Structure 1
Amino acid sequence: MVEKLISFSLKNRMFVLLVATFLFGWGIYSVQQNPIDAIPDLSENQVIVFTEWMGRSPQLIEDQVTYPLVSNLQGIPKVKNIRASSMFGMSFVYVIFEDAVDPYWARTRVVERLNFAQRLLPQNAVPTLGPDGTGVGHIFWYHLETNTMDLGEQRALQDWYIKFALQTVPGVAEVASFGGFEKQYQLVLDPLKMQYYNVSMDQVMKAVQANNNDVGGRKFEMSDRSYIIRGLGYLQNSTDIEEIALKNYNSVPVKVRDIGSVQMGGDLRLGIFDADGKGEVVGGIVVMRSGENANKVIQGVQQKMQEIQKGLPEGVRFKTSYDRSELIEKAIASVKGTLLEEMLVVSLIVLLFLFHGRSALIILIQLPISVAIGFVLLQAFGISSNIMSLTGIALAIGVVVDDGIVMVENAYRSISERQQELDTNQ
């Protein structure tokens, strides 16, 4: 079989060159299309269901949220396992699917079950799906540097401007904010005054919710013109909240300020984010969508950050905390350097020992084509270019070089011996 293949190749040299050129071009195309990342994605194919029910104990979360969800999510096709954890005010359910399952098909099936399971949960507990990322999807971290804004203002800038802008970058599944304080209006109520005016906590909550709303009216026509009537009732500041009427007490309206005070504060925090031991900072974590090219996504995020920088307040700038593209570029540079070094060393060895330029050229052509075929196979099997796969290619280059030297030297020796026999016979 080998003799027939060698004979066919010798008789059809142009065909062999065309096949080699085609494989090399296909390899270049695969390199451009193959996702590039620093580390291999070995995480399981999972869908995360997150439910928030603040103020409840882990045991209550487990009984009324986690258990009903796990019970109803069982039986989904192609599910390997379901895991769950409950903590203060939050529930996490991890639905593990088989590796061959399309992640978006899996998310669709989970949503179908959640629509049915929703009726079993408490009224204020609404389950949501986590981002369509993976365990290694945190590809870029950043924080804000400024001397003119407090942590609350920085968090508001992050949540209402920067986050929404970065989520438009192709390949980004989510931008998770961290650090700072989430601003909120806090009502500090006096229980003695509430008892005196006979006002309950539920009355206060319903009154505040009802008074924070815009209502629509009818169309009013006057002097051949039409006017749309609407009531503007959204709360603008703490004074508006203090003026909300709760009930009448001896024909006198009881307002929020009569039973307590309103202040601007921060939401409950379960941790802080510190940068290099110099103090708290506010920033975000960019989560990549599953199956995307990490290097391209990071480049898109960096370009978008340059555009966002123009709209930030004076004195506010981005500071990169973690950038995986640096590790990716170093891994690629290492493979390129290994390939060039081995090609140079092998060609010199062949030239020194054989003194034959065509023999060295054969090995030089063989190396890039072998690497190109390797990337074709990576693309075909859906394996990303990462440290593990690139290191494997770099190690395989040495094996290819050794085989090439042995084969070329053996062929050169056989041809020389055959040539000597022909010269002797003549």
Structure 2
Amino acid sequence: MASVISIVIFLLGAFAITLLPIARYPQITPPAVTISANFPGASAEDAAQAVAAPIEQQLASLQGMLYYASTSSSDGTTTITVTFDVSRNQDLAAVDVQNAVKLAEPQLPAAVRTNGVTIIKANTDILGAVALKSTDPRYDALYLANYMKLYVVDELKRVPGMGDATPFPLRDFSMLLRLDPSKMAQLGVTVGDVSAAVQEQNATNPAGRLGREPSPPGTQFTLPITTLGRLQTVDQFKDIIVRATPAGGLVRVRDIGDVVLGALSYDLEGRLNGGQAAMALMSTRPGANALAVKQGVVARMTELAKSFPKGVTWAIPFDTTPFVTASIKEVLLTLFEAMLLVTAVVFLFLQSWRATLIPMLAVPVSVTGTFLGLYVLGMSINVLTLFGLVLAIGIVVDDAIVVIENVERIMATEGLPARLAADKAIRQVASALVAIVLVLCAVFVPVAFIGGVKGELFKQFAVTIVISVVLSGIVALTLTPALCGLLLKEAVEVNTTGFFGWFNRLFDRGRGRYVRAVGGVLRRPVTFSAAFVAVVVLAGLFWLRTPTAFIPIEDKGYMALSVQLPDAASLQRTRAVVGRVEEVLHGEPAVRNMVELIGLDILSGRASANNTATIFVNVKPWDERGPHDALDSIAARVNAKLGAMREANAFSFNLPEVPGLGATAGVEINLQNRSGMDVREFAQRVQEFRQATAQLPASAGLNSAFRASVPQVYVTVNRESAKARGVSLSDLFGTMQAFLSDLYINDFNLFGKTYRVQAEAQQQFRQQPSDIGRLYVRGTGGAMIPLSALTTLSYRSAPTILSRFNGFTSAQFTGAPKAGRSTGELLDEVEGLVQTQFANAGIGVSYSGQSYQERVSSGDAALVFALGLILVFLVLAAQYESWSVPFAVLLGVPFGVLGALLGIWIRGEPNDVYFQVGMIAVVGLAAKNAILIVEFANELRGHGMPLREAALEAARERLRPILMTSFAFILGVLPLMLASGAGAASRHSIGTGVFAGMLFATSVGIFFIPLFFQIIRGAVDRRRAGHVAPSTGDA
């Protein structure tokens, strides 16, 4: 029966493996909703005040919202991203945001309402980018961008698991009416005239049907009536009649300008390795299998490529899945190495392949069965669940080792046959096994009470450990005794020769010294109690002083670069600087591909500006790079070369470890203007803050794209003169918007899609500030009045991109700590700086991305440990039916905690999520060692053995299983601590803590456990005897 149960668990688990999704992380990215609006011709300040502010006022009370951030640009675009708690359903969140925007719509400008406000569910889990390139000059950037959107993007969106595929650059076709203001003034035509003419003549005009019912008798046909509706060709738009002249002539669009089929916007440009390209930036749906989505993309693009025009090719130049594949592969290799090391340790102690086979059979049943539990609970195969399995390998053999070690001891000392010895052994250790399983499960229960991203990370690990531990307990109570009776020999022979003989003699000598040392500890309770207090104090001090972080920064095989030119630099200048950056990157042999997004700044919330660019860089795989080509080394060399550039500020940065959790893997700090000071005064404070942060001990440099000194032309309208001359102010401002920006009139159809018809001035009329005065508006009596007669020009400074965070004007700073320092230290220093130097001026600080998660969850680990210890205490109290004896077990935990903290201190690692996850396991495993001694000593004491002798005998008899199980676990996690390649930083973090913690708990803590039992059980016995024992000094 036991064998059947184990086989069923194994088979179901193996089948579940084929069904589980694979990803680096589970779905832990906080859901986000993006609001986009356009206010044509508006400045960044105008867009922030007129668009962002009214919408933000309605967002503050949304359920589950963490924070919202908006970016308004000088091209009139406003983007607001609302980020929600990870537990919030994204669909419901989008509905809430949509309702909030509806409430704000009456306050928005008419032009914004006309263009429409877009609300989409943000898919921030970046998968990569598909690119189209052409070797045929006929297929230029405009053609490629529209081909991508028409024939590729929708196909990519249909790939199972695809969240979104966003075309870049967005160069939708547009019918551009490029007007000549001089000719319009000569002919007495205004922008309003052109707009009205296009709306009238470029319209769908239904004309009805002939012969429709009711009709006269004998009607033979019903004929629909059609006429020219929406125009489609350039010539048709050129022939639009704008007005009739007094002499009877007609003024057409061709008489006052030109018409071209162009792009909706030319503010963005996409390039691949220096050549023009059209991109589709892909992101996966929440919970999707990234590897399967990537395979689907390749299959779909391979099929689509068969119909591409000759000379058009495709590629995936930026891809995040190799890191997922490589990191999971490395963890699986670690899993295999851990199994080999655990097997070696077990064989070393048991010295029989038969005996070794028994506990090792528990591993595949427990580990494979864990996948069944993950499938039932809707989880995935990710690095966290695999980390849990690596630790579980060293844990799941423990229960079986305890059983088999006891069986062999009984066979050797009492001469019982294997079957009877197995039956007796399981009766002796069953309660201890149950206690160990319950303790290891109980220590993870508080994880369920942690919310946010950190809680989700903890839960993945905790659920994996709990499932595997429960299965290992079931196997130890059922399959292991049966295998002992079946496989063990009737007589147990102790090796006295060869390597095993030498090991046994060494172990016996070591055990003798250990027992004598424990005896010395038991004779000096005060001295060693004081030493224990010192251990507790040291553990507390190390916990408080160890730098904190959120998630280790990995070599993911890709990075990003930000390029910032001086204020007001043109797109042409930006393109030239990007070319120089490309030359620097080409000089790095490890660089494979560069995806250049000119005009886009992802560090400013994906705002568009002519003087910015973002470059995504993929490097060669880890096994093709030497030690000098680690991503940090490449970035350092690139930054050193870029630092010499005078034309721009360019630097590399790591993308966030959790996709979608902010813009960078470092810190994200939002300096807020909470006093309402003028934006230019705030800019001075931002500059002071930038200079102050450069002096912080933990800062490697913080960067911000906030600028308020961008040169701008300020137009002052003489409103009295305008009204006196019969000029409508709306016409005046509309003329400037149309000629200096663009005017959306209506739509036309092409290739089965709908595109915009826009009016704008020809290039030569929008180059210099003086060109503004050459624009004309109609006044009283139809007179055409130049704007130079109604306006005066001046120069001023203002921001081209204006950010707001939680309703306040803000400047976002991103950066990283110095080598050897943590993000937690840097955030603490920044917070102290703001409090001491800037708070009185009305400046505050808030956090976003990974920094937000790090700050809000900073106290969760201590709470988890405290609750875990309380639950362990309650479980042990129920097990021993005593409120006192459990303390003898729990007092062994500080040794594991101190050891783990010493380990990361020596190695220079911070106290991050992975370390804290490992610490929870150390707490349970340290308690397990204590249980083995306390359980046996308590039993001996119950049979009447004197207290000190019971503690010594328990230490002697339980040393072998403690060392066997502990070193099986310690060596099982050794591959984590020594890892290299993809995902090595995370493995170092979790491996170092559990290795050092269990090593210290095993090598030091086991000397104190008998003392704790003697003190506590002695106090219990004296209380039961009805008297208080005199104080005991050192013997």
Query: What TM-score bracket applies, with the shorter chain setting the length?
Result: 0.7 to 0.9
* 8 Å Cα contact 2:40-2:111 kept in structure 1: no
Give the 3 Å change call, closer, same or farther, for CA 244–130 of structure 1 in structure 2: same
Structure number with the higher helix fraction is: 2
What letter is aligned with 1:55? Answer: G
Alignment pair present for 1:366 and 2:370: no
Residue 166 of structure 2 corresponds to residue 170 of structure 1 = no
User: Once the 2 structures are TM-superposed, how far is the Cα of residue 54 of structure 1 from its aligned partner?
Assistant: 3.3
The answer to whether the 8 A contact 1:151-1:180 is kept is no
Corresponding residue SS for 1:124: helix
1:285: which partner in 2? 281
Q: How does 1:117-128 map to 2 (within 5 A)?
A: 117-125=104-112, 126-128=116-118
Name 2:101's counterpart in structure 1.
114
Q: State the distance in 2 between where 1:27 and 1:343 align.
A: 18
2:73 matched to which residue of 1? 87
Could you tell me which of 159, 162, 165 is aligned with 2:149?
A: 159
Show the 5 A alignment for 1:7-406.
14=1, 16-39=2-25, 42-88=28-74, 89-125=76-112, 126-133=116-123, 135=124, 137-148=125-136, 149-179=139-169, 181-221=171-211, 224-250=220-246, 251-276=248-273, 278-347=274-343, 350=346, 354-376=350-372, 378-379=374-375, 384-400=380-396, 403=398, 406=401
| Cα gap change, 1:41 to 1:406, in 2 (>3 Å) | same
Measure the CA separation in 2 of the matches of 1:123 and 1:161: 34
Letter in 2 for 1:322: F
DSSP 3-state at the match of 1:68:
helix
The equivalent of 1:6 in structure 2 is none
CA distance in 1, matches of 2:337, 2:382: 21
Q: Please name the residue that 2:402 is paired with.
A: 407
Contact 2:342 2:394 in 1 (8 A): no
Contact 1:82 1:94 (C-alpha < 8 Å) held by counterparts = yes
Give 3-state SS (helix, strand or coil) of 2:121's partner. Answer: coil
* Residue ranges of structure 2 left out of the alignment (5+ in a row): 212-217, 418-489, 492-1035
Contact 1:180 1:280 in 2 (8 A): no
Q: State the AA in 1 paired with 2:128.
A: F
Separation in 1, partners of 2:146, 2:230: 19
Q: Deviations for 1:305-331, whole angstroms, at most 9, x for unmatched residues?
A: 222222222232221112333333323
Q: In structure 2, how many angstroms separate the alpha carbons of the residues matched to 1:386 and 1:53?
A: 44
TM-fit CA distance, 1:176: 0.6
**Deviation (angstroms), 1:373:** 4.8
* CA spacing shift, 1:164–1:342, aligned 2, 3 Å: same
* Cα RMSD (Å): 3.0
Partner Cα separation in structure 2 for residue 288 and residue 352 of structure 1: 48
CA distance in 1, matches of 2:41, 2:283: 28
Q: Distance in 1 between matches of 2:288 and 2:350?
A: 47
Deviations 1:158-197 (A, max 9, x none): 0111011111222222111114844433222222221122
Deviations along 1:78-98, one digit per CA (max 9) or x if unpaired, are: 334333332232222233333
Inter-partner Cα distance in structure 2 for 1:155 and 1:51: 22
Equivalent pair of 1:163/1:175 in contact (CA under 8 Å): yes
Residues 73/320 of structure 1: CA separation in 2 closer, same or farther (3 Å cut): same
Flag the 1:206–1:380 CA change in 2: closer, same or farther, 3 A: farther
Larger deviation, residues 168-177 vs 360-369: 360-369
The superposition leaves residues 200-251 of structure 1 with CA deviations (integer Å, 9 ceiling, x where unpaired) of 1122123223322332221124982222112233322221111000111022
The one-letter code of the counterpart of 1:244 is I
Residue 258 of structure 1: CA displacement? 1.0
What's 1:417 paired with? 412
SS in 2 for 1:145: strand
* Letter of the structure 1 residue corresponding to residue 45 of structure 2: Q
- Alpha-carbon distance between aligned partners in 1 of 2:271 and 2:383, rounded to the nearest angstrom: 30
Q: Which structure's CA Rg is the greater one?
A: 2
Question: What TM-score comes out, normalization by structure 1 length?
Answer: 0.84
Q: Is the 8 A contact 2:169 2:270 kept in 1?
A: yes
Matches of 2:95 and 2:220, distance apart in 1: 53
Question: Matches of 1:353 and 1:263 in 2, distance apart?
Answer: 84
CA distance in 2, matches of 1:398, 1:317: 51
Output the amino acid matched with 1:188: R
Q: Is the 8 A contact 2:133 2:144 kept in 1?
A: no
Task: Choose 180-189 or 256-265, whichever is displaced more.
Answer: 180-189
What letter corresponds to residue 318 of structure 1 in structure 2?
W
Q: Give the gaps of 5 or more residues in structure 1.
A: 1-13
2:335/2:390 contact within 8 Å kept: yes
Instruction: Tell me the CA shift for residue 157 of structure 1.
Output: 0.4
1:345 to partner: Cα distance = 5.0
Letter in 2 for 1:249: T
Contact 1:350 1:405 in 2 (8 A): no
Instruction: Name the SS of the counterpart of 1:131 in structure 2.
Output: strand
Higher RCO, 1 or 2 (CA under 8 Å, sep at least 6)?
A: 1
Contact 2:159–2:296 under 8 Å retained in 1: yes
| 1:36 CA drift (Å) | 1.8
Mean CA deviation greater in 344-353 or 230-239? 344-353
Q: How does the TM-score come out when normalised to structure 2? A: 0.37
Contact 1:52/1:91, CA 8 A, preserved across alignment: yes
Q: CA deviation at 1:66?
A: 0.7
**Equivalents in 2 of 1:86, 1:263: separation in Å?**
29
TM-fit CA distance, 1:69: 0.7
Number of paired residues? Answer: 406
Contact 2:94/2:120, CA 8 A, preserved across alignment: no
Counterpart in the other structure of 1:7: none
Q: Mark the CA change 1:123 to 1:170 in structure 2 (over 3 Å): closer, same or farther.
A: farther
Equivalent residue for 1:3?
none
Q: C-alpha deviations, 1:313-368, integer Å up to 9, x for none? A: 22322211123333333233333333334434544665566453433332332222
Q: Secondary structure at the match of 1:340?
A: helix
1:300 Cα deviation after fit: 2.2
Q: Which amino acid aligns with 1:414?
A: R
Q: CA deviation at 1:396?
A: 4.1
Question: Which consecutive segments of 4 or more residues in structure 1 shift more than 6 A?
Answer: 421-424
Tell me if structure 1 keeps the 8 A contact 2:358–2:400.
no
